[in-house]
Amino acid sequence: MGANGESFSKLYGRNIVMIGINIEEIYQSALKRKRTLASYTEWNDLYPVEQMILSKEISHADSIIEFGCGAGRIFNYLYYTLNCKDYVGLDISREMLKVAKKKYPIGNFKYADVASKELPIEKHFSKILFMHNGIDTIYPKERRVTVFRNARLFMANGGQLIYSTHILKESPESVICSGEHKYFEEDYHGAKIWIHRSTEFEAVEEAIANGFTIISKYVQDKGTDSWLYLVVMNDVSS
C-alpha cells in the first residue's frame, strides 16, 4: 500500500486495529460532505484561547502563512481584527477553498498539500500557523515530519510556528497504533475519521525532535478533550 494506506495488525486494549485504512482519504472525504461544509461556512468565531494567543503573538506587520486554512475562519480574525494584510492560506480541500474564496474574496487562498515536499511558496514568513489541530489529520508520522520541515524551511529569521494538537487524556476504544503515534476514531460532523493524539510530554518532545525551541504553550481543557497550543521557533543549534 501507499504511504497513506499502511497496514497494521496490532492490538490495542480490547480492539483489533483496522487493516489498510487510509486516514487522510477518510478525512478528505468527510470535508466534502454537505454537513461539514455547511458547518465551516457558518463558523467564523475563534475560541477565546485562540484569540488570546493570536492577539499576543501576532502584529499587523507580520507576514503570515496558514497551513490548513479551511474556510477562512482564522483569516477573518487576522485581517479584520488584527489588521494583518500579508497572508497566504493553504489547504488540501478544494471544497473548503471554494468556501473561503466565496466568503473572503480579498484573501489569498491556495491549494496545496502542506505535507508535500514541494509547496507553492516563494518567500519566508514571520508567522506560520496550523490551527484547530489540523496537523493531527496528517498521516503517517513521516508526513507529520515533513510538515515541521516545511515550517522550518519557510520560516523567516526569528519567526514562529503556532499550532495546536490533541492531547491524550484517556485511550478511547478504537485506535490505530503506529509506533509511538496513535490515531483514534472520532465523530466529525457525523462522519467517522481518525485523529492523532499524544500526551502533552510527547507533543513537546515531537516539536523539539523536529528542530524547534518551545517559546510558550497553552492548554485548552474542553472537558472530555484537551488541546495543546504550542508557539515554537527554529532551534538555531540544530
pLDDT computed for residue 194 by the predictor: 76
Domains of the chain from N-terminus onward: 3-57+65-234 (3.40.50.150)
pLDDT computed for residue 102 by the predictor: 94
pLDDT computed for residue 196 by the predictor: 86
DSSP for 155-213, written as a single string? EEEEEEEEEEEEE-SS--S-EEEETTEEEEEEEETTEEEEEEEB-HHHHHHHHHHTTEE
Per-residue pLDDT of the chain (238 residues; tens, 9 = 90+): 233 333 333 323 333 234 345 656 766 776 667 666 667 677 688 999 999 999 999 999 999 999 999 999 999 999 999 999 999 999 998 988 999 999 999 999 999 999 999 898 999 999 999 999 999 988 888 899 999 999 999 999 999 999 999 987 655 555 555 455 577 777 777 777 777 888 899 999 999 999 999 999 999 987 767 999 999 999 877 6
In eight-state DSSP terms, residue 71 is T
- Output the CA–CA distances (angstroms, integers) from residue 162 to 192, 204, 208, 231, in the order listed: 27, 13, 14, 5
State the DSSP H helix or E strand holding residue 67, giving kind and residue range, or none if neither.
strand 63-67
Please, which residues bridge with residue 160 across strands?
Answer: 127
What is the pTM (predicted TM-score) of this model?
Answer: 0.84
Q: Dig out the grid coordinates for 96 from the structure.
A: 473548503
Please, which residues bridge with residue 197 across strands?
Answer: 182
Please give the Cα distance from 73 to 42 (Å, whole number).
10
